[in-house]
Chains A and B, each alone.
Chain A
Amino acid sequence: MSWVLVVDDNEAIRDCLVGLLEDLGVGAMEAKDGVEAVAHLRKASTPPMLVLLDLMMPRMNGWQFLDLRSREPALAAVPVAVMTAMKDMTIHQFDVLKVLEKPIEYDTLRALVERAMPRHPAAVT
């Protein structure tokens, strides 16, 4: 069962993203910061096909989450797409699938999720 983890401290954003994923027939989990995201990942029986990650969040922010992921082999393989309101060059030191600049277009997101689906060959990258 393929699912997407949505990590954003803003409820309205999470709501939209979950709505979009529902439209596409993809299950979603929500986390409002890095701490919740890590908890979800550790609990899940199968890893998600994609993590949509906001950067600026309380408790554990996006950079801290990426840093932790890179040091935990079980999580390292999970593809992450970063959503940011401000272009930030430092993000490229991490292994990220794509950087989405806010405001994010529906079509861009849909293409990204569709490509991440297991049946899609591009998801391997």
Chain B
Amino acid sequence: MRAPDKTSKRLARHKSRVLELLQQRMPSSQARHEPLLEHVVLSLEGAPLGTQSFAAGHDALECLRAVVVLEDILFEVLEQEEPLTPEERSGLRTACCALRDAALELVQSREEQLRGAAVKSEERYLTVTRTTGFAVWDWDLKDAKLHWSYSVESLLGHPIDALSSLVAWLDYVHAADRDRVESGLREALEGGRSSWSDSFRFLRRDGTYSTVLARGWILHDAAGSATRVVGGLNDVTEQRRLERELKQQQLLTQAVAENAASCLFMVDAGGVTTYLNPAASAVTGYRLEDLRGKLLHDVLHPKYPDGSQFPVEACEVHRPKASARDHECVFLRSDGTEFSVSCSVMPLSTGEVGAVIEFRDITRQKAQHQQLVDAVQGRDEFLAVASHELRTPLTALQLQLQLVTHGPLAETLDERVKGRLGRAEQSLGRLVELVNELLDVSKLRAGRIDLEPKLIDGAAVVREVVQRLTPSLRDVGSELALNVPERSEGHWDRTRFDQVFTNLYSNAIKYGDGKPIEVEVTGDDGWLVLSVRDHGIGIALADQARIFERFERAVSERHYGGFGLGLWIVKRIVGAMGGTIKVESTPGDGSRFEVRLPRRHGVAP
């Protein structure tokens, strides 16, 4: 019974020497060998052996080898000190055997575990490839065998066997890519690199090509030679197609933006500039470097043209989430000068990724518009002056004629001369009317309508005008039905009231085609309603809004004279008096004009 005890004691004493020798003989092992020795000692002392803890840090095979080497060392060290008795020798061998059995057991169980894990991972790969298009390969350089995960079948259609060597595999690589792939792989292997990757076309079993991405990790032996390459392969056809499309889209967008005549800015969701096209750069003088990280608003118009602060919250342009169209504002160039623009804001994906701002320099248009406004104003001023200047000689001419026809001289005239002078007076009356129209237009254009409201009887004015135009009515042969109350009072400018009705009534006579005309004055406490109805040629629906415009006439000017200003003037005057005018008409059945005038408007005296 003493012997084993003695052996174990001796081993404990030589512990450091034993471990030193073990380390020398297994230089590549990183594990701690001390637990192995302790197990032998415990085993010699008759303690039961635990199975796991002695193998800490070893892989199973390494552990087994260490146990074998350790056995040799133990005998060597002990025999060297003092020869072992046969009992001692047998005891030590038994202890070592037990340890070796335990190590073997460990190796076996590890292998089983690995096998199970391999099956599991293969299942996992299959599932993964079905959903993501991924296969795993393992190329053993010693036997030149290429192993594939089963997923390659679903990925490329080929059975595993068809791809079981590099040569077979390379056969399926597109001819145009093959040399590159082969030489790339060889260079990686011979150059001692740890990985390789390439993307190429691969012939599928169905005869079409897939674009694949292959990546491999190269394993080396202790001498540095490549022994094995393990890798993955996935189908990136769709990905590459999307990338290509995206690239094309980007190129297209870029080409459009870079060559566009209109100026473009892009801002992110926070209103910071991310892009400007060459047109925008040329117009504003900014480059992207000048704008990077800054709010576009702060660069383009931090202030209103009058110099006051322009808060970013009030800016139509700086709202990546709200669109704006043809918004007019003033931008600053990089040199500090201002220019007018018309700009539109288009939010991208409702502003989450920012907005595109498109603008045009409208300085020239604005100048042209101003020129046009000036020209129109000049014309109106000319009209005003011309019509005014024409009035003086017209007055003289009219008075001279009337001195003859209305004064005592008339009695001395022969009837034929009177007749001629009467015709001359009519033409002159028409001329006066036209000059008055011109003057009205120039006044109305300038927004100067002089109204002198006084309490007057509108019914009386209507009767007066009817009386005055009786000769014209008689000339065309129309019958007049006059439905006017005895009085209808209101605060109106008598001359303008007269002018409005005269215009409508004379139109009815002119365009009434000799058919009956109805004139009616109605209304209530607040309003007077004047209606003039004829049964003549009428006005087409499309023309009904137009007739109130200047120089518009619904009929050919060959048939009817005048400038076509009458209704435009009437509408303006009625508007200035606070009233409204409307027309109802059926072509061929005449028109009905209705004017509604408030009996008191604004601050009438």
Q: A residues bordering B, Cβ < 8 Å?
A: 10, 12-13, 15-17, 19-20, 23, 83, 85-89, 101-107, 109-110
Q: Give the complex CA separation of A87 and B399 in angstroms.
A: 20
- Closest Cβ of chain A to B400, distance in Å, is 5
Q: Give the complex CA separation of A89 and B605 in angstroms.
A: 14
Known: A89-B452, A103-B432. A19 touches B396 (CB 8 A): no
For window 507-540 of B, CB contacts with A under 8 Å fall at none
Interface string of B13-55 (1 = CB under 8 A from A): 0000000000000000000000000000000000000000000
Q: Give the complex CA separation of A87 and B402 in angstroms.
A: 23
Given A89-B452, A103-B395, A107-B402, list of 9 further CB < 8 A pairs? Answer: A19-B399, A19-B400, A83-B395, A85-B388, A86-B388, A86-B439, A89-B450, A102-B395, A106-B406
Known: A12-B396, A13-B395. A105 touches B402 (CB 8 A): yes
Complex: chain B residue closest to A13, CB-CB: B396
Contact of B450 among A10, A87, A103 (CB under 8 A): A87
Q: Give the complex CA separation of A12 and B450 in angstroms.
A: 29
> In this complex, which of B388, B398, B399, B452 has the most chain A Cβ atoms within 10 angstroms of its Cβ?
B399
Interface majority SS (helix, strand, loop, mixed), chain B: helix
- Closest Cβ of chain B to A106, distance in Å, is 3
Q: Are B399 and A23 in contact (CB under 8 A)?
A: no
Q: Give the complex CA separation of A95 and B454 in angstroms.
A: 18
Contact of A23 among B393, B403, B432, B450 (CB under 8 A): B403
Q: How large is the interface on B (under 10, 10 to 19, 20 to 34, 35 or more residues)?
A: 20 to 34
Contact of B394 among A19, A83, A103, A107 (CB under 8 A): A103
Q: Are A19 and B403 in contact (CB under 8 A)?
A: yes
Q: Are B391 and A102 in contact (CB under 8 A)?
A: yes
> In this complex, which of B388, B396, B400, B406 has the most chain A Cβ atoms within 10 angstroms of its Cβ?
B396
Q: Which residues of B contact A10 (CB under 8 A)?
A: 392, 396
- Closest Cβ of chain B to A89, distance in Å, is 6
- Closest Cβ of chain A to B71, distance in Å, is 133
Q: Are B396 and A16 in contact (CB under 8 A)?
A: yes
For window 388-415 of B, CB contacts with A under 8 Å fall at 388, 391-396, 398-400, 402-403, 406-409
Complex: chain B residue closest to A86, CB-CB: B388
Q: Give the complex CA separation of A100 and B408 in angstroms.
A: 23
- Closest Cβ of chain A to B467, distance in Å, is 14
- Closest Cβ of chain A to B425, distance in Å, is 10
> In this complex, which of A88, A101, A105 has the most chain B Cβ atoms within 10 angstroms of its Cβ?
A105
Q: Give the complex CA separation of A99 and B459 in angstroms.
A: 24
A-B contact pairs, 19 of them (CB 8 A): A12-B392, A13-B392, A13-B399, A16-B395, A19-B403, A23-B403, A23-B407, A23-B408, A85-B388, A85-B391, A85-B395, A87-B450, A89-B450, A102-B394, A103-B395, A104-B398, A104-B399, A106-B403, A106-B407
> In this complex, which of A86, A101, A109, A110 has the most chain B Cβ atoms within 10 angstroms of its Cβ?
A86
Q: Are B406 and A12 in contact (CB under 8 A)?
A: no
Complex: chain A residue closest to B435, CB-CB: A103
- Closest Cβ of chain A to B143, distance in Å, is 116
Q: Which residues of B contact A102 (CB under 8 A)?
A: 391-392, 394-395
Q: Give the complex CA separation of A22 and B238 in angstroms.
A: 109
Complex: chain A residue closest to B439, CB-CB: A86
